[in-house]
Amino acid sequence: MNIAIFASHGGSNAQAIIDACAEDRLAAAVAAVISNNSQSGALDRARRAGIPSYHLSSKAYPEEEALDRAILETLRRHGVNLIALAGYMKKLGPETLRAYAGRILNVHPSLLPKFGGHGMYGEHVHEAVIAAGERETGVTVHLVDAEYDEGPIVAQCAVPVEAGDTAETLAERVLHKEHEFYVATLQRIARGEIVLPG
């Protein structure tokens, strides 16, 4: 598998995937890291690992179609056959979605379909989980389509909500699980234990 990681901010999930590939815990290579944020920590992490990194955003490509095409051309240039979204805060364009249909994954910090959709990211998810009195949350890896968090679920795992949890303490526990579960799910795909439709 030749993976492209898309991330907008710190890139801790990107780092988990990069490390797993480097240590042969994941039978794949990270071919490129793409961010819509020039200050993204994910781009720094890619540079440190010697991985091609790209800032592709509406600043350089004001027309959505041009940005979509630039992303798709970058993916093709690097022979990417799987996209892993890891905290990417922008919808992919229709050409990229079509070209990689069934081969775009996202990790979400709840047990979808609960606490997903527009605006449900980061602390917002954990605040909503606690406000709803849930005893359990988790991590979902799902396929990406044109809507936020609505693509078919590929794998899920549960994370307990503990008494006295704040959004911050819950976020930390869920993020730790995300790092290992996303890599484990990618490895199951690499081994053929999970077969993607694309």
Would you say 11 is a known binding-site residue? yes
Non-local (6+) Cβ contacts of 4 within 8 A are 30, 31, 32, 33, 34, 74, 75, 78, 80, 82, 83, 84
Pairing of strands 82-85, 104-108: parallel
Active site residues: 108
* Measured CA distances, 57 to 70, 95, 195 (Å): 9, 16, 31
Would you say 2 is a known binding-site residue? no
Q: Tell me the C-alpha distance between 13 and 10, whole Å.
A: 9
For residue 145, give both structure tokens: 């389509």
| Nearest partner of 169 among 113, 131, 130, judged by Cα | 130
C-beta of residue 112 within 8 angstroms of C-beta of residue 123: no
Would you say 81 is a known binding-site residue? no
Non-local (6+) Cβ contacts of 69 within 8 A are 93, 95
DSSP-based three-state secondary structure for 84: strand
Would you say 106 is a known binding-site residue? yes
Binding residues for (6R)-10-formyltetrahydrofolate: 106
Binding residues: 11-13, 106
